[in-house]
Chain A
């Protein structure tokens, strides 16, 4: 069923009784051309592009829980491509361009809203660093704009830009094409679009091992039996090390905990995304009116999808520095997700030492915005057995070869990226 204004009108006349299920909840078949482990945005997008761009017929996505129940539904929905280094800049820009046409491509409204992403600067040194990054972006053909303090004040009226702030704002780097999207809709939209192209989406199917013979992958063992496959792609975010270990791989990744928070809904307050530069905090407002906020990692490795109170206090104190008017706002809920923090802060989309086994991970906190681009280049890598030019540098062996892509310059300290 194709969604359209006409269809909506017709369903409105018959009490919405004609809507079909958006996608097919499949039973696992004995064999596939490609099996993708992980039914989040990245896995579903990969399956979609495998079918659409590469004409691969028999594709399955196996998910241990329900689709989009992991990090796809546990982020702050921010989309941007404001990176310094070329590999990251071009890759995230590819992703941003796919976002710009995604609702039409999927025939599903992912509510992508280019409301801008503003990075505040609070010191001369930070202003210089932001301007350098902004200039690098422009050289890479990506939009960026420096806003003076007065322009920031006009752009975000409730922001405290006064000299009385503990860390006065000196300006900000704005990417107007950045913004937010509806995270659940991304999972559902890709699932529906993939399912319509014949992809099997298998839920409640946990991978417990890989079938490997003579250095080549032959399938996966799951809680619902063995599934043979010519090729297998791993896209499991926080559990990347855990799943890769089943294939005997040790990875340059540590899993850390990141929280996000949502307040009670209020009237329109900010119509963009703002990040605090003197601490780690970012905020936007959802279409429902909730303030959506995120802060730092909890700073210790974890596989528990739940957060800790000290970070909430830290994040809220950053938020009040920026927006004193929020001091009586009540928090509605908070949640934690597991970040696969890589050793240079950049992702890994790569072949592995095992023939036919491909890895997509190391997303740190940046996975959501990468969803379309990640699926696009991962599908290419799997279908052609060689990377797309946009992920050629995101190789698993780049650390060993001395080609780390360290946008923040923090070195092999995963929690610092």
Chain B
């Protein structure tokens, strides 16, 4: 069981959360080129190591968090609120 510190609710088990996606990607502008959008929608670094991910506290406050987690050890090194501009579906 992973434990994740929700920036709003405190430490909870990961089963309260939903993994949303890689949090290191920047959502492109609406009028960005097809190549840029292809990169954002489909391609992933999928690095073997630490990654900033977006998780949603689905069974809690429903807020989003940026979670720094290692993909090999699963250790969570830190969490912080997701900036509003990075919210999934946020329009630029």
Contacts and interface: CB of A to CB of B under 8 A. Distances in A.
Interface string A221-260: 0000000000000000001011001000011111100000
A255 B43 CA distance: 12
Interface in B2-59: 2, 13-15, 18-19, 22, 35, 38-39, 41-48, 51, 53
A304 B69 CA distance: 12
B41 A242 contact: no
Nearest to A310: B15
B71 interface: yes
Contact of B71 (A245, A250, A299, A302): A302
A341 B43 CA distance: 12
B14 A242 contact: no
Contacts of B69: 300
B71 A412 contact: no
A343 B72 contact: no
Interface in A294-316: 299-304, 308-310
B38 A303 contact: no
Nearest to A297: B19
Given A241-B46, A250-B44, A415-B19, A302 B74 contact: yes
Contacts of A251: 43-44, 46
A300 B19 contact: yes
A242 B53 CA distance: 18
B45 A241 contact: yes
A400 interface: yes
A155 interface: no
Given A300-B14, A301-B53, A253 B72 contact: no
B43 to A, nearest CB: 5
Main secondary structure of the interface of A (DSSP, over half): mixed
A254 B2 contact: no
Contacts of B2: 300, 308
Main secondary structure of the interface of B (DSSP, over half): mixed
A253 B44 contact: yes
Given A300-B14, A303-B48, A303-B72, A343 B42 contact: yes
Contact of B42 (A299, A309, A399): A399
Interface residues of A, number: 24
Contact of A308 (B1, B43, B53): B1
Contacts of B92: none
A301 B71 contact: yes
A251 to B, nearest CB: 7
Contacts of B91: none
Given A301-B19, A301-B51, A310-B1, A242 B42 contact: no
Contacts of B43: 250-252
A242 B49 CA distance: 10
Contacts of B45: 241, 245, 250
Contacts of B15: 310
B44 A241 contact: yes
Contacts of B46: 241-242, 251, 253-255, 301
Nearest to A415: B19
A200 to B, nearest CB: 27
Nearest to A401: B38
17 contacts: A241-B45, A245-B45, A251-B43, A251-B46, A253-B46, A255-B46, A300-B14, A300-B69, A301-B51, A302-B74, A303-B48, A303-B71, A303-B72, A304-B71, A304-B72, A304-B74, A310-B13
The 8 tightest CB contacts between A and B, nearest first, are: A241-B46, A252-B42, A300-B19, A399-B42, A242-B48, A250-B43, A303-B48, A303-B71
